[in-house]
Structures are given as C-alpha cells and as structure tokens.
Amino acid sequence: MRSPWIPVVVWMGVIFGFSHQSGEESLAQSGVVLQVLEALGLSKEHLRQPEFIFVVRKLAHFTEYFILGLLLSRVDLSFFWAAILILGYAVSDEIHQIFVPGRGFAIMDIGIDFLGGLTGMGLCFLWLSLKRSGV
C-alpha cells in the first residue's frame, strides 16, 4: 500500500522548485498566468496593473499551500500538527528564498501560505465530516 506521505513530499518538492526560481523566472511564470487570463477575455490594461500582478502572485502562494493542506489532510496527523508542519514549511520556504537571486523573505507570504494550507485542510476535514454524517 502506498504511503499518503509520498504526494505530500512530492508537492513540497514542487513548492521548493517554484521557490528556487530566480525573481526574473518567477515573474515570467506570473506572465504566463496573465497571458492565460488575457486569452480568457480579461483586459490587457487591467492585467498589467501592478496591483493585479501582485494579487496573481499572492494567489499562487495561497494555491500552492492550499494543495499542500489538501494532501496533508490524507495523512494520519492531527489538524494541529499538520498546521505546524505547514507553518514550518512556509517559514523555511521564505528563508530559502533569501538565497535565491531576485527573491527575498516576506512575512506576508508566510501568512498567505499558512492561510492557504489551513483552508485546504479545513475544507477537506469539513467535507469528510459531512460525508461521515451522511449529509
């Protein structure tokens, strides 16, 4: 039987890979997302606003850790310890970025990452609770 930790560790590696991209590479990746949104019909003028780019980049943080939270909810770990793991990984991720050209440490990103992870775990636990109760 396959360990539920394997997808967690693999996803943590994916997060590490994204964090290891230089600032220039990371910004280019955000540009790809903006191109997709433009293809979906959003105005180019709005998409190029610094505020919109900021939101896209922060949603990427949230989404990475949301997925981590979903994966951790499948592991035999209490919500508390899973949350501690998410917070610890978010902190280590930001420390890692200090050493990556064009990147840096941001407290706000830790909060966004943690919130994303808690949201993923919370929704999964809620869904499982509703499923068990027959709702």
**Model pLDDT for residues 63-112, shown as the tens digit of each residue:** 999 999 999 999 989 999 999 999 999 999 999 999 999 999 999 999 99
DSSP 8-state assignment for residue 41: T
Tell me the pLDDT band of 60, cut-offs 50, 70 and 90: very high
Give me the residue spans of the domains in the chain.
5-133
| 91-114 per-residue burial string, b: 16 or more CB within 10 A, e: under 16 | bebbeebeeeeebeeeeebbebbb
Contact in structure between 82 and 73 (CB atoms under 8 Å): yes
Inform me whether the pLDDT recorded for 15 exceeds 80: yes
Residues 3-22 have a mean pLDDT of 95
Tell me the pLDDT band of 10, cut-offs 50, 70 and 90: very high
Give me the pLDDT at residue 1, please. 67
For residue 84, how far is the Cα from the chain centroid? 15
pTM, full prediction: 0.89
More confident residue, 53 or 122: 122
Tokens 């990103």 sit on residue: 109
Residues 45-58 have a mean pLDDT of 86
Contact in structure between 99 and 22 (CB atoms under 8 Å): no
